[in-house]
Amino acid sequence: MPTTEKKATFIMRKDWRNYTKKMKVEDKAELLDAIFLYQNGMEVGKLSYAVSLVFDHMVANFENFEEEYQKKCDQKRENAKKRRWKQGSKKKEEKTEQTETTTPLPAPTDEEASQEAKKDAELWEIVEAFVEYKAEHYHQIQHQIKKNGKENYLDKQYSEAEKLVKLVGGIINLKAILKFCLVDDFRKKQILSIRKLRERNKEKVPYYEVIVDQIKDWKPPPSKVAKIPTV
């Protein structure tokens, strides 16, 4: 069964279409229901032979995805814990720099580190989704990733996103801005990177401030709603 940790999403592969394209409609419905039962930690009843073959294959992949996800979460939780400890130590040292000895602040609790890791993971997923979409549609971004390396490029975009979260008032607001930049006909060509949002236009106004004003009353037309990428 999947982890009990709260997750709103799970991964499915495009090439699984090869396993389902010849299935009957009722078998596809049975398979889909089984997938959602499994992902919500509920018991999956007896399946037909054809469905069980495909489902068992998918479950094996789900378990691998879950293991990889947990490893990332554990690593981010540990990184968050170290980062909080370093930040606390630095602040303490700044206050007592005139003294001969300093006492570092205690490391954050597991709960504090866990909350920090969840925020990091959510922001990281948003950055990855934005970068992947831009790389898929714009050659310039493909070139930058190839030149700098994907991991290095993502790290830089993540650092920019961290700064923007504070400037725009939270992850939810940043997510709305990035989604707008993927859909609006003008902004999707202009804002190719997260860093671009902190640059200024001719009037010396940061682009993120301009876009915030734009999206206050913005509603995507019906023809575009289905085309909005998941960010």
Amino acid at 105: L
* Burial class of residue 43, CB neighbours in 10 A (0-12, 13-18, 19+): exposed
DSSP H or E stretch at residue 81: helix 49-95
d(CA 89, CA 107): 9
Residue whose C-alpha is closest to residue 158's, from 143, 174, 138, 182: 174
d(CA 138, CA 119): 28
pLDDT value of residue 191: 94
pTM above 0.75, yes or no: no
d(CA 147, CA 182): 23
Residue whose C-alpha is closest to residue 180's, from 207, 205, 214: 214
The three-class DSSP label of residue 229 is: coil
| Pure H helices in 96-206 | 110-137, 139-148, 150-168, 171-183, 187-190
d(CA 217, CA 231): 20
pLDDT value of residue 102: 52
Tell me the backbone φ, ψ of residue 134, rounded to 5 degrees.
-65, -40
Q: Which two tokens stand for residue 144?
A: 């930058």
The three-class DSSP label of residue 200 is: strand
Q: What angle do CA 114, 120, 125 make, to 5 degrees?
A: 125
Say what angle helices 110-137 and 139-148 make with each other, to 10 degrees: 130
Residue 106 has, within 13 A of its CA and on its CB side, a CA count of 4
Contact 136, 127 (CB under 8 A): no
Show me where the domains of the chain are located: 1-108, 110-231
Mean pLDDT by 10 residues, the chain (231 residues): 63 89 92 92 91 92 85 73 61 53 58 71 88 90 89 89 91 90 90 93 93 79 50 58
Q: How far apart are the first and last CA of the chain?
A: 26
